[in-house]
Amino acid sequence: MKKQTKGEVAGAALSGIVSSFEDINIIPEDQLPFKFNSIEPTAWYPYSYLIDTINLIEKSMPHSSSLLFWAGVEFIHIWYKHVPDKHKPRSALEWFYTNEKSGGYNTVVRGGTPDEIGWCKILTMDEAAGKVIFESVTPYGGKFEEGIIYGGCLLTNDMAYFSVKSEDETYDKNANFKRTLITVHFRPKSEANIESKFESSDFNALDKLTWKQTEDLLWCYRRLVEQNKLQKEYRMDITRTLKNAFEELHKVAAELRLANKKIEKMAITDMLSGLHNRRYFEQQFKKQWFSSLRREEKICILMLDIDYFKQYNDTYGHLAGDSVIRSVCKILQETFQRAEDIVARFGGEEFVVVTFGNNIEHINKLVEQLRKKLKLKKIEHKKSEVSCHITISIGSACAFPSRSLSPDDLIEQADKALYSAKNAGKDRHVHYE
């Protein structure tokens, strides 16, 4: 939508529009074209501020005619508080005539032609029949404009009855504007403060009413019934909007929890292999260590290294090397399947396994299963000095956790055993004694 380059808007109008939606808090102030707290009611600002603000409201606003309507009512009360006294209407009829030839509208916009900044005029006025029709071409349009006229009728409290209806259509000469026809049916009070008759402590006061007073009160009653209906619709829309907001909040919270879980999982997962990473291993190993200390349970740790892996990468390429790592990881997962087992990539071509409650005989059995499965894969390795296929070296260490032995001590023992396996010719398992 093309912004207006001509015209100005009063600060009172900008702050009034934003403030009129304050109760439902739907305008993201950080997206406004101005800093709300810096707006001076008596200052003038670029007309594009008004267009951008209305567009932001339409984008942010839930689909609710009553919310827009009562925001318009609130807007005109804010306008009335800031507008100079000479522009303040002293009666509802004067308020109607204020809008003739854009009188009211031009207190908050200036500096352009009607097609550039908008306008408002009276098409029909029949005081005897109690009917006035306005034609308004502004950025507001619709229910907000209807609320402005309705709110104006409330300002001076001199109407026994009034109802306001609006119809919208596009305005071909300016895409930023809407052409709104607003029809008002009204009946002035014959006596000021006629409602006070209801507040009298004299129970016979109603019997003393004249026919004209009774008629006024009936019209007031009808207006209050309709106003109560409008307020009921507003409360229902507020409730519906709040319900939708909570549903959206719960949805976003659920998505956020899911995203956090994914982030947490990514933080402890090795992206290449899909195994847990070293960070996860270090966190969980220490936890399980102290848990096993309380249960007096043996812990076994295995350090594994793919033999001559650098030479494999240099010969077959890094993508082939990645494939080997994934193959070894899959075999590790197939071999160590218990829920409490920790299987992780330690770094590069090194892996670590932590298993609980096993003796050395069972560890030897698991290691042989692992090596056998890898041999059955027959992954070619021409540069290996111990086999024509990929092999692994394994070092293991087992212990009952104690106050004199730390988790790092057991890791160091397994690492020494791995070093011994590599020095002894690779493609073997050495257990730390």
Catalytic residues: 349
For CA atoms 126, 130, 133, 136, the dihedral sign is: positive
Q: Which letter, b or e, does each residue of 238-277 get, where b requires 16 or more Cβ atoms within 10 Å of its Cβ?
A: beebeeeeeeeeeeeeeeeeeeeeeeeeeebbbeebebbb
* DSSP 3-state of 93: helix
Name 353's bridge partners. 302, 343
Long-range contacts (CB closer than 8 Å, 24 or more residues apart) made by 336-344? 336/366, 340/288, 342/276, 342/280, 342/281, 342/284, 342/285, 342/288, 343/275, 343/276, 344/270, 344/275, 344/276, 344/277, 344/278, 344/280, 344/281
Residues 6 or more apart in contact with residue 100 via CB below 8 angstroms: 121, 122
Packing angle, helices 309-316 and 318-335, rounded to 10:
130
Cα-based distances in Å from 144 to 40, 66, 140: 23, 9, 6
Rounded Cα–Cα distance for residues 40 and 85 (Å)? 18
Minimal CA–CA distance to 274: which of 311, 325, 313, 320?
A: 325
